[in-house]
């Protein structure tokens, strides 16, 4: 509509001559495009007055410093100056789910994310009780990060698990001992004795067989102790 309005205004002040529309002095709607290609995440029909071209980038609400509930068109000049943009977000990255630009910046193959200018761990799904935001590889919390003890209560350890943090240990099978650091001081396998049988399959119930079973159990315990405890 804006294009045709400009065209009509120019027509009113143009002298009535033959082929007047071919004259170089005739005003024509600008064909200047702000962006080389405009697909998902752009509105090619919006006039960017600040940049004097057609097409505006739609920025996701989370990437804006002002409270917003829907994607908003931002001028090319404002984007270049980061005006109104949350610097924790990359406005060159398309959020295909929301069909707008602005994904939270990540590093370490997506295992770390930027929150308030600081890098925080991206936790695997199920680690956090109340995550603040879901990312491609997991979830993050904006506030205080979980401690070793808090993670251990749910059977998790803060080790890298692919491209997110949080390795699950069955609490019936392992005891996670925490100190002051995020990673545990040691992990104790509670059910270390393996490979034993009972009854007839064990070769009877005589003293020799009983000693044999206990010798095997002792050897297993020694192996597990050497593996999980520092001397």
Tens digit of each residue's pLDDT (9 = 90 or more) over 108-161: 999 999 999 999 999 999 999 999 999 999 999 999 999 999 999 999 999 999
Separation of alpha carbons 130 and 148, rounded Å: 17
d(C-alpha 165, C-alpha 176), whole Å: 16
The residues pairing with 177 across neighbouring beta strands, listed in sequence order, are 186
Specify the pTM.
Answer: 0.68
pLDDT at residue 217 above 60?
yes
* Residue ranges of E strands in the chain: 42-48, 53-59, 72-74, 89-95, 100-104, 106-107, 112-115, 118-121, 133-134, 139-140, 156-160, 165-168, 174-177, 186-189
Nearest to 194, CA basis, from 172, 215, 220: 220
d(C-alpha 200, C-alpha 218), whole Å: 21
Alpha carbon distances (Å) from 214 to 190, 191, 217, 228, 231: 17, 15, 5, 21, 23
- Mention every residue, 6+ apart, whose C-beta is less than 8 A from residue 70: 61
Residues 154-196 have pLDDT tens digits of 999 999 999 999 999 998 889 999 999 999 999 988 876 444 4
pLDDT the model gives residue 191: 74
38-51, pLDDT tens digit by residue? 999 999 999 999 99
């Amino acid at each position: 509509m804006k294009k045709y309005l400009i065209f009509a205004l120019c027509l009113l002040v143009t002298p009535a001559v033959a082929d007047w529309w071919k004259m170089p002095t005739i005003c024509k709607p600008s064909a200047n495009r702000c962006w080389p290609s405009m697909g998902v995440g752009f509105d090619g029909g919006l006039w960017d007055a600040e940049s004097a071209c057609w097409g505006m980038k739609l920025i996701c609400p989370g990437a804006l410093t002002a409270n917003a509930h829907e994607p908003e068109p931002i001028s090319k000049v404002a984007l270049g100056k980061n005006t109104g943009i949350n610097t924790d977000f990359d406005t060159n990255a398309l959020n295909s789910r929301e069909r707008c630009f602005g994904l939270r910046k990540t590093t370490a193959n997506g295992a770390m994310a930027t929150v308030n200018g600081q890098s925080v761990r991206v936790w695997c799904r199920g680690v956090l009780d109340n995550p603040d935001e879901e990312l491609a590889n997991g979830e993050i919390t904006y506030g205080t990060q979980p401690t070793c003890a808090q993670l251990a209560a749910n059977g998790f350890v803060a080790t890298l698990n692919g491209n997110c943090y949080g390795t699950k240990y069955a609490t019936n099978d392992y005891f996670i001992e925490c100190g002051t650091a995020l990673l545990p001081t040691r992990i104790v396998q509670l059910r270390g004795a393996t490979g034993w049988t009972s009854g007839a399959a064990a070769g009877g119930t005589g003293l020799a067989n009983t000693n044999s079973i206990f010798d095997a159990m002792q050897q297993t315990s020694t192996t597990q102790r050497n593996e999980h405890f520092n001397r």
